[in-house]
Structure 1
C-alpha cells in the first residue's frame, strides 16, 4: 500500500532526527545552532508533511 511508504519514510526520518539530537545531547532541535539549515530536520519535516497528505501535495487526510 502506498500509505505504508509514507509511514515508513516518516519513521526512518524520525529515527535519524532522534539520533542527531542524541549525538548533540539535545532533547529538541530548537536549541541547535543549525536549526534552520539542518538537512536532517528538513528531511523529517518533509516526510511528516508527505505522510499527512499521503503524497497529495497538501490534500491532507487525517484518518
Structure 2
C-alpha cells in the first residue's frame, strides 16, 4: 500500500513540473525548449528533466528504470 503513495508522489511531481515547463514555453511563444536561448541554464527545464528521471527510476539512485 505504501508503494502506491510513493508512485503517486513521483507522478504528481512530474505533472507539476510538466505544467510549469509548458507554461514557460507558452509565455515565450515556443513549442519546444530547443529554440530557447536559455536551454542549457534553465532551472525549469532542469527540474522537469529531473522529475522525468525520478518518475522512471522511482527515486532510486542506483540507476535503471522501473517500467
- TM-score tier, shorter chain, comes to over 0.9
What is the alpha-carbon distance in structure 1 between the residues aligned to residue 13 and residue 54 of structure 2?
Answer: 9
What are the ranges of 5 or more consecutive residues in structure 2 without an aligned counterpart? none
What are the ranges of 5 or more consecutive residues in structure 1 without an aligned counterpart? none
Write out the 4+ residue segments of structure 1 that deviate beyond 3 Å after TM superposition. none
Structure-2 residue corresponding to 1:59: 64
Structure (1/2) with the larger helix percentage: 2
> How does the TM-score come out when normalised to structure 1?
0.95
Larger radius of gyration: 2
> How does the TM-score come out when normalised to structure 2?
0.90
State how many pairs are aligned: 62
- RMSD across aligned positions (CA): 0.6
